C-alpha cells in the first residue's frame, strides 16, 4: 500500500483495519514533505508533536476496535491564515512572523475533532492577497507540475501540498478565488462553500464580507467529507448561518440526468486562452452526455466584477489590517521614539508591497470625498452582480465556467503589474461577491501538461448540487 | 492623473504608513492604473440600486421576519464569561513585543 496516495476513506479504513497506523501515515507524509518541499515551498511551519499526539490517539482508538471518526488518521495541512493554538500562524506576513495564537480556528478544531492529523501550516500570499503566491513574505511556492510556474494563490501552499501528495487534504481560504484558482493551477479539487456555511472564527481577516474557508482535495468525495466536517452554525461567528447541513457524501450519488446547467457567454470572451476554452467546452459536452441539459444564461454585469471586488476587498482590508499596530501581537520596529513613529515604522517594515498597495487603495476608497464615488458605488454594483446570479438560477441548477482564463503562468510573469495579476481572478471573484458556492475540478491539460480547471457555481447553500455535478464528471473519467 | 503624490502622502497618513520616496512614486503609478480600470463602474447607472454590504442579510435567515429579528439566532446573552472564557492576562500578553507582565508597553505618548 502506497501510504501517500490514499484518499480520506482509504486512509481512515486502513488505520481502522490495522493495515497501517495513523503514526505511519503521518511519518510517511512527513518523509514526503522532507523530500519534496525544499523545492516546492508549500509549508511554512510543521507541527510534528501535535500531529503525532493526535495520530497516537487515533491509533489507540483503532487498537481498541472503536469506530474512527470520518477523518480518523488522515494527514491534513492548514493554510497559515487559520489560527492554531500554540502553532505559529503568520498569514504569510513578516508582521505576524512570530505570532502564536492562544486559540484554534473553528474549522481547524472541527477537523481535529473528526480525527484529522494536522501536519503543518501552508504558505500563502501575504494576508491571502495575491493570485500567484509570490506575495508570501517567506518564499514563493512553486507548482508541483512545473517548478517554473506559480501554483496560483493565495492558497498556493495548500494546493501544492495536496497536488504533491504531501497531505491528503488541506484547508484554504477564498476571498476572490484563492481556493479555486490554485486548485485549477495545480490540478486538484477546490471548494468554496456559501458565505456563512463555514465559520470564520479564527480565520485572520482579509475582507470579512468575502472571506470563506474551504477544502482542497484530490477527489470530489473528499471535498464533500471535509465540508460535512467543517460546515454548520458556530456561535463564535455571528455571520455563520443557521442552515441545515445536508449529508454531502450521500447526496453525491444522486443522478445528474435532467439537471439544467447554465453557460454564460460572459465567461468565454476575450482573454480566455484557446486551450482552456477547448477543455472547458469538451467538459460541457461531457456533462451534456451525462444527461445534463445545457442552457445559455446571461450574467451581464460580469465585466464589472473585478473593479467592484478590488474596491470592496481593499476597503475591508484597510479596516481589518489597522489592528497590526506593533502593540499586542504584531511585529514592532526597533529604535522608535514615539507612538506614532512606532505604528508607522512597524507597519512599513512589517507589510509587503501588495498589502500596502491594497491598504492604500482601500483607505483612498473610504476617504472623505471619495466614499460615494468608489466604495458606495461598488456596493451598488455588488447588488447588480448578485441579481445576475439570482436571475440565472431561476432557469438553471448550476453554472459551468472556466476557473481561470489561463493555466498556471510563470513565476515573475505578472509580478510587476498589479492589474494584470488582478485579472487572473476574473472568473472567480463574482461568486465571492454574491456569496454563492463554487468548486473547481480538473478538466484536462494544456499541451505543456499544465492542469486546466472547470468551475461549477451553485445557488446559496446548495453545495450539494455542485458537488454532485463535479462528482459525476470526475467519475465519468 | 487622479492620484497625486500629495494624495498618496495624505492617504498614507490615514493608514498609518510612512512609505519611502520610491514606494510613494510606485504607489502613484499603481493607484492611478487601478483607478483608471475601476472607472468603468461609472458606465452603470446605479441611482436606483440599493448598496449591498454583505450577503448574510439576504440569505439563510427567516425571511418572514423584519430587520434585526431576522438574525435572532445570532443573538446571545451579554455575560462576562460567555461563549468562551476571556484570555488570562498572562496569555493575552504572550505575543506582545514589549510588556511588563501587567501592561503592554509602548513609547511615551505624553511629552512634558
Strand partners, A262: A295, A399
Chain A interface mutation, best of B97, B99, B105, highest count of A Cβ atoms under 10 Å: B97
Higher pLDDT, B60 or B99: B99
Q: Given a cut of 90, is residue B62 above it in pLDDT?
A: no
Quick check: A238 and B71 CB within 8 A? yes
Cα A155 → chain centroid = 5
pLDDT given at position B58: 61
Which position has the grid cell 495579476? Answer: A421
CB neighbours (10 Å) of residue A254?
13
pLDDT at A441: 98
Write out pLDDT tens, residues A425-462. Answer: 999 999 999 999 999 999 999 999 999 999 999 999 99
Contacts of B34 in chain A (CB under 8 A): 310, 361, 418-419, 422
pLDDT confidence bin for B61, thresholds 50/70/90: low
> Average pLDDT of A48-77?
98
Q: Which residue of A has its CA nearest to B44?
A: A381
CA distance B69 to chain A (A): 14
Region of residue A335 (left: phi > 0; alpha: psi -120 to 50; beta: else)? left
Q: What are the pLDDT digits (tens) for A155-175?
A: 999 999 999 999 999 999 999
Residue A177 has pLDDT above 90, yes or no: yes
Give A83-96 pLDDT, tens digit per residue.
999 999 999 999 99
Name the pLDDT band for A242 (thresholds 50, 70, 90): confident
pLDDT over 70 at A347, yes or no: yes
Domain-by-domain residue ranges, chain B? Answer: 5-43
Contact list in B for residue A438 (CB cut-off 8 A) is none
Closest of A202, A12, A393, A329 to residue B104, by C-alpha: A329
pLDDT of residue A359: 98
**Which of A87-101, A317-331, A413-427 bottoms out in mean pLDDT, i.e. has the lowest?**
A413-427
Average pLDDT over residues A17-42: 98
- Provide the residue count of chain B: 112
Q: Say yes or no for a CB contact (<8 Å) between B40 and A367.
A: no
Closest residue, chain A, to B75 (C-alpha): A238
The pTM (predicted TM-score) of the whole model is: 0.97
Residue B18 has its nearest CB partner, among A306, A326, A348, at A348
Give the mean model confidence (pLDDT) for residues B51-57: 82
**What is the pLDDT averaged over residues A204-223?**
98
Rounded alpha-carbon distances, angstroms, from residue A219 to A182, A264, A428: 15, 26, 20
Q: Helix or strand or coil: residue B30?
A: helix
Residue A200, chain B, CB below 8 Å: the answer is no
Q: What pLDDT does A122 receive?
A: 98
pLDDT value of residue A378? 98
Instruction: Read off the pLDDT band of B79 (50, 70, 90).
Output: confident
Q: What is the mean pLDDT of residues B84-108?
A: 93
How large a percentage of chain A has pLDDT more than 90?
96
pLDDT of A107 reads 98
**pLDDT attached to residue B63:** 67
**B62/chain A closest Cα distance in angstroms:** 10
Higher pLDDT: A243 or A248? It is A248
Look at residue B81 in the predicted model and tell me its pLDDT.
77
pLDDT band at A291 (very low <50, low <70, confident <90, very high): very high
Chain A residues in contact with B38 by the CB 8 A cut-off are: 307, 310-311, 374
pLDDT of residue B72: 73
At residue A256, the pLDDT reads 98
Active site residues of A: 79, 154, 178
Cβ–Cβ below 8 Å for A304 and B31 = no
Q: Given the C-alpha cell 473593479, which residue does it identify?
A: A307
| Assembly ipTM | 0.93
Q: Inform me whether the pLDDT recorded for B60 exceeds 60.
A: no
CB contact under 8 A, B55 and A236: no
State the fold for domain A1-477: Amidase signature (AS) enzymes (3.90.1300)
DSSP string, B54-90: -STTTSSS-TTS-GGGGGGGG-----SS-SSPPPPHH
In the CATH scheme, what architecture does the domain B5-43 have? Orthogonal Bundle (1.10)
Residue B112's pLDDT is 65
* Residue percentage of chain A with pLDDT more than 70: 100
Task: Report CB contact under 8 Å: A102, B61.
Answer: no
Judged by CB atoms closer than 8 Å, whether chains meet at B83 and A102 is answered as no
DSSP state of B44: S
Residues above pLDDT 70, as percent of chain B = 87
- The pLDDT of residue A68 is 98
Instruction: Show me where the domains of chain A are located.
Output: 1-477
Amino acid at each position: 500500500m502506497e501510504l501517500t496516495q490514499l484518499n480520506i476513506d482509504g486512509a481512515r479504513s486502513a488505520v481502522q483495519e490495522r493495515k497501517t497506523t495513523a503514526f505511519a501515515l503521518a511519518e510517511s507524509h512527513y518523509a514526503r514533505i522532507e523530500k519534496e518541499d525544499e523545492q516546492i515551498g508549500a509549508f511554512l511551519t510543521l507541527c510534528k508533536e501535535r500531529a503525532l499526539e493526535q495520530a497516537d490517539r487515533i491509533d489507540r482508538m483503532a487498537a481498541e476496535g472503536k469506530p474512527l471518526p470520518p477523518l480518523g488518521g488522515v494527514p491534513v495541512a492548514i493554510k497559515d491564515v487559520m489560527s492554531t493554538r500554540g502553532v505559529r500562524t503568520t498569514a504569510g506576513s513578516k508582521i505576524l512572523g512570530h505570532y502564536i495564537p492562544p486559540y484554534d480556528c473553528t474549522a481547524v478544531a472541527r477537523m481535529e475533532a473528526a480525527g484529522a492529523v494536522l501536519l503543518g501550516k501552508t504558505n500563502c500570499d501575504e494576508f491571502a492577497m495575491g493570485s500567484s503566491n509570490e506575495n508570501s513574505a517567506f518564499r514563493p511556492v512553486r507548482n508541483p507540475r512545473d517548478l517554473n510556474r506559480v501554483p496560483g494563490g493565495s492558497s498556493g501552499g495548500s494546493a501544492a501540498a495536496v497536488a504533491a501528495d504531501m497531505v491528503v487534504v488541506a484547508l484554504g481560504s477564498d476571498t476572490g478565488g484563492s481556493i479555486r484558482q490554485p486548485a485549477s493551477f495545480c490540478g486538484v479539487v477546490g471548494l468554496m462553500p456559501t458565505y456563512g456555511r463555514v465559520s470564520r472564527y479564527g480565520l485572520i481577516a482579509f475582507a470579512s464580507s468575502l472571506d470563506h474557508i474551504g477544502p482542497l482535495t484530490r477527489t470530489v468525495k473528499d471535498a464533500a467529507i471535509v465540508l460535512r466536517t467543517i460546515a454548520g452554525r458556530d456561535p463564535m461567528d455571528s455571520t455563520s448561518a443557521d442552515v441545515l447541513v445536508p449529508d454531502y457524501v450521500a447526496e453525491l450519488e444522486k443522478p445528474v440526468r435532467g439537471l439544467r446547467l447554465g453557460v454564460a457567454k460572459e465567461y468565454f470572451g476575450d482573454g480566455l486562452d484557446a486551450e482552456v476554452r477547448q477543455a472547458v467546452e469538451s467538459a460541457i459536452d461531457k456533462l451534456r452526455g451525462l444527461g445534463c441539459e445545457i442552457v445559455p444564461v446571461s450574467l451581464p454585469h460580469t465585466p464589472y466584477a473585478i473593479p467592484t471586488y478590488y474596491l470592496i476587498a481593499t476597503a475591508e482590508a484597510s479596516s481589518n489590517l489597522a489592528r497590526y499596530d506593533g502593540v499586542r501581537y504584531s511585529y514592532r520596529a526597533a529604535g522608535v521614539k514615539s507612538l506614532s513613529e512606532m505604528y508607522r515604522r512597524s507597519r512599513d517594515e512589517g507589510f509587503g508591497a501588495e498589502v500596502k498597495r491594497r491598504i492604500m487603495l482601500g483607505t483612498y476608497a473610504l476617504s472623505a470625498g471619495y466614499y460615494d464615488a468608489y466604495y458606495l458605488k461598488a456596493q451598488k454594483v455588488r447588488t447588480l452582480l448578485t441579481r445576475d446570479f439570482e436571475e440565472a438560477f431561476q432557469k438553471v441548477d448550476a453554472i459551468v465556467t472556466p476557473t481561470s482564463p489561463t493555466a498556471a503562468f510563470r513565476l515573475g510573469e505578472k509580478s510587476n503589474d498589479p492589474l494584470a495579476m488582478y485579472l487572473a481572478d476574473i472568473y472567480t471573484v463574482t461568486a465571492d461577491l454574491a456569496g454563492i458556492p463554487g468548486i473547481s475540478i480538473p478538466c484536462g491539460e494544456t499541451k505543456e501538461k499544465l492542469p486546466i480547471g472547470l468551475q461549477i457555481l451553485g445557488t446559496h447553500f446548495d453545495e450539494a448540487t455542485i458537488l454532485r455535478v463535479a462528482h459525476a464528471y470526475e467519475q465519468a473519467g | 492623473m487622479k492620484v497625486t503624490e500629495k494624495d498618496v502622502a495624505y492617504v498614507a497618513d490615514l493608514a498609518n504608513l510612512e512609505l519611502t520616496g520610491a514606494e510613494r512614486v510606485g504607489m502613484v503609478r499603481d493607484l492611478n492604473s487601478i483607478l483608471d480600470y475601476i472607472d468603468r463602474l461609472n458606465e452603470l447607472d446605479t441611482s436606483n440600486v440599493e448598496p449591498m454590504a454583505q450577503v448574510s442579510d439576504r440569505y439563510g435567515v427567516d425571511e418572514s421576519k423584519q430587520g434585526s429579528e431576522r438574525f435572532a439566532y445570532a443573538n446571545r446573552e451579554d455575560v462576562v464569561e460567555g461563549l468562551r472564557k476571556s484570555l488570562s492576562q498572562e496569555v493575552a500578553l504572550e505575543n506582545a513585543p514589549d510588556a511588563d507582565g501587567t501592561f503592554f508597553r509602548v513609547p511615551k505618548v505624553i511629552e512634558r
